[in-house]
Structure 1
């Protein structure tokens, strides 16, 4: 539900922008800023709180912020920040390894369903008075936000978050609900405790165990993840931020927010026809994202990323040519680009960047990824119209095609396959040789205890 509301918010702007510009008499530069401010303001999310407060708490925050959208667009960006971070982290942490690709990609599926609903809303309310239509398109999304606040209250907390905060009994209760057997739940808890650097797993005080972490403050997490990371952690951070960068820098937000402009460039002039084609484009993204959810755990992340980015290169180049000399090619290339994007890069980015991060830095690392994603998508949104005027709209998509080509090289050289691995095993793929290094524990005594050799 959170992802669907977020998707609606992104999709509805695409058509609403046509009427906002006419009603408020905005210039292209002003419209660029309006479209990008939502993404840029999402980086203002309270990053340290993501680790210390329950994940459900942040979903509630995101819905309250979304409810204020029609009053203050900047505040809605805070909701986007939480809604972009928490569903991915939460889903990855409660999913078994065998189905994590499927379950972790569901937020992206519902984001695309939300976008499609936003496009349909544009089409449905386009006949209203100019001053009223776009306001109804934007404001109607406040209603499901209220419903989600009530639904979140019944959600269990992530067992990994509970262990990290010393609530081992509560974590076991959640694992028993989501695991197939009690033995599987117990094994999962033991693995999580090892990755969380629990020193004395048998010492319990009520519902709270005594835990020892290498760091107890956010400065230490910053140091371990960003300021002074180990070589393996540096590779993980590069992979997580790199996939976020290429997801947005390859220009997907130009399609999400400016598809009516693209179709105008392809020779389509009627508003209702433009909105109808946009709805078909949204249906294509939703369909291929759904297909991707069933392929992630069968084909793997890496093959899908390579096929996706390769297809995007040719589709973006075709779109650039089509917008320059052949209008029919432009529409066909737009559809194929969105299909290739949705079946790989669109579906895998949040799954991959979440699952490769070690447990103790996962929430903070995901927050950094969302912030970076928001910055890049905001820049794309705020520069597309101006760049199209400077180098033509066809030239803009040639640029995006070049970026997608670099993305293919990055994915081929830097992203190992993660299919079938537990979250606690991911560190080995990036050069972490043992559990102590994987959780950034270098105290000899603690390493001995965790490996069973302590006295």
Structure 2
């Protein structure tokens, strides 16, 4: 029986996947093969969504267009906090709908939708004439950000072989940093233009990467796990054959996915099986009930971990470093907008990019837990030193204290990107069961965006209330709480199939603590 349904929106793109008869698939020799480039290219193309997120973060932060927007529209400190922070809140709206949308139209077409939303928002923002229209553009780009934050890591986790899932999923963080660097360099490029043009070019430049992302998202195949959920077993088998390390692994993975979705193993791999749930609404309601109202011990444990990961990632204050670098330097004595400040912003972006490469090579070798614990411990120490240095500078400023503060910022950035930055997405996207993955990750990202919004919108006010040094001591205390949370509750998932990870969760806290203690020894 030939695979058809090319008119169906869930059909696999002809650019990347040829429609071939089922007999041809079954005739493929069952032999071990080298890890092919197909899965890697799927992960790279899906990760390109993160360029949009990174560019959006850098182009609107303190080292970007906000300097010129404040001057152009006479924006107050409070309006600046709202403008920067509300984008994270807007993203939660996209996150709420992203899980359901990706379950309905597929992971691939949800990424395409995110690209279109971001394109429209960037276009509208670049032609803003006042503060209100600028906020409208931020609202729309925030929606696109919310969609991309959920669906991209889900897709990458679902097409990745177990042997390199950490590497593939962490690519998103690398591309975020590439987007941030692109934003920094656009700042340097367009800052020479008149104020009324420079910030518009910076804000509108993201139109081009969003167009590129739409094109590449249409080239990749649909997630095999989503195809199985839709009953399109033949297409799922074809994608698994192309993306996994061997034909035997593909067959075993397909059997695991079918079992996880309640599909009898006796069904032909090429038979179209209708969904067991009559409507998407019933499916969504049942999923939310299973997660929040009547969770199994394993699902309750997983949900706590997902929410904790996303909360501590943002509550430890990393966004403050990027969004308020000029405000930070103004408070410690540097008040100009000259090239020295811009050069430092670019150096921070360079550090982010370099250290975000570290986990891509280590996650599948030494595991998630060691990198995560090292990362959070390093952040805690660097934030304490930064708080100490800033407090000293408030009383008596000298070059040594300034050097201490700058070094602490760079070290904090480095520790963030070797662990908690990328691992939040890697770990969160792989521990959820297949049917709960989209909605469960949405819950985590909602916490992520709300926490980021609150941290961003309260930084200036907090720094006035408890001093900027006190704010960094607060973030250091939150990082210490995060280390304890991760040490006690997070088991290692390195090298396990997605369908088998659920078994690691649901045991008592005492047993988890004891097993993790033995692991550290």
Q: 2:516: which partner in 1?
A: none
Q: Secondary structure at the match of 2:115?
A: helix
Q: Secondary structure at the match of 2:55?
A: helix
Q: CA deviation at 1:212?
A: 4.1
CA distance in 2, matches of 1:266, 1:425: 51
- Which SS does the other structure have where 1:198 is aligned? coil
CA deviation string 1:70-107 (max 9, x = no partner): 42210111100011111100000000111000001001
Aligned residues: 432
Structure 2 unaligned regions, length at least 5: 1-47, 125-136, 393-400, 509-521
String of CA shifts for 1:145-182, please: whole Å, max 9, x gaps: 11221221111000011111111111011111112332
Q: In 2, distance between residues paired with 1:172 and 1:259?
A: 49
Query: Structure 2 vs 1, CA of residues 60 and 340 (structure 1 numbering), >3 Å: closer, same or farther?
Result: same
Counterpart for residue 353 of structure 1: 428
Question: How far does the alpha carbon of each residue in 1:336-368 deviate from its partner, in whole angstroms, 9 at most, with x for none?
Answer: 000000000001000001101011100111111
Asked whether 1:134 is paired with 2:199, we answer yes
User: Does the aligned pair in 2 maintain the 1:199–1:211 contact within 8 Å?
Assistant: no
Is 1:284 aligned to 2:351, yes or no?
Answer: yes
Would the aligned equivalents of 1:203 and 1:210 in 2 still touch at CA under 8 Å? no
TM-score (ref. length: structure 2)? 0.80
Is the counterpart of residue 218 in structure 1 residue 284 in structure 2? yes
Q: Which residue of 2 aligns with 1:18?
A: 67
Q: Give 1:152's match in structure 2, choosing from 197, 217, 238.
A: 217
Kept in 2: contact 1:50–1:364 (CA 8 A): no
Q: Is the 8 A contact 2:277 2:283 kept in 1?
A: no
CA drift of 1:211 comes to 5.3
Q: Which residue of 1 aligns with 2:24?
A: none
Structure 1 residue 257: Cα displacement: 1.3
Is it true that 1:245 corresponds to 2:311 in the alignment? yes
Aligned equivalent of 1:309, options 367, 376, 379 = 376
2:253 counterpart residue number: 188
Higher deviation after alignment, 195-204 or 396-405: 195-204
Alpha carbons 1:319, 1:333 under 8 Å: kept: yes
Contact 2:50–2:179 (CA under 8 A) maintained in structure 1 = yes
Conserved? CA contact 1:109–1:286, under 8 Å: yes
Question: CA RMSD for the aligned pairs?
Answer: 1.8
What is the Cα deviation at residue 382 of structure 1?
A: 1.3
Distance 2:242 2:71 in 1: 53
Alignment of 1:159-198 (within 5 A): 159-198=224-263
Identify the residue that residue 258 of structure 1 maps to in structure 2: 324
Secondary structure in 2 aligned to 1:292?
helix
Match of 2:273 in 1: 209
Classify 1:190/1:213 alpha carbon distance in 2 versus 1 (closer, same or farther; 3 Å).
Answer: farther
Instruction: Report what 1:449 is aligned to.
Output: none
Distance in 2, matches of 1:267 and 1:127, equals: 25
What is the aligned partner in structure 1 of residue 113 from structure 2? 61
Q: Is the 1:198–1:213 Cα contact (8 Å) retained in structure 2?
A: no
Q: Any conservation in 2 of the 1:123–1:276 contact (CA below 8 Å)?
A: no
Which of 1, 4, 7 is equivalent to 2:54?
A: 7
> For the structure 1 residues 320 and 214, does the alpha-carbon distance in structure 2 shift closer, same or farther, using more than 3 Å as the test?
farther
Name the counterpart of 1:392. 467
State the distance in 1 between where 2:266 and 2:142 align.
41
How many angstroms apart in 2 are the aligned matches of 1:21 and 1:186?
58
Task: State the Cα distance separating 1:201 from its structure 2 match.
Answer: 4.3
Aligned with 1:52 (options 83, 104, 108) = 104
Tell me the distance in 2 between the aligned counterparts of 1:32 and 1:66.
22
> Do the aligned partners of 2:255 and 2:265 also contact (CA within 8 Å) in 1?
no
Structure 1 residue ranges (4+ consecutive) displaced by more than 6 angstroms after TM superposition = none
Consecutive unaligned residues in structure 1, runs of 5 or more: 434-455
Q: Distance in 2 between matches of 1:141 and 1:34?
A: 18
For 2:168, the equivalent position in structure 1 comes to 103
SS of residue matched to 2:493? coil
2:84 matches 1:38: no
Query: What is the aligned partner in structure 1 of residue 389 from structure 2?
Result: 322
Maintained 8 Å contact 1:260/1:278: no
Q: Tell me the SS of whatever aligns to 2:121.
A: coil
User: How far apart are residue 196 of structure 1 and its match?
Assistant: 1.7
Structure-2 separation of matches of 1:176 and 1:388? 55
* Residue pair 1:122, 1:137 contacting (<8 A) in 2 also: yes
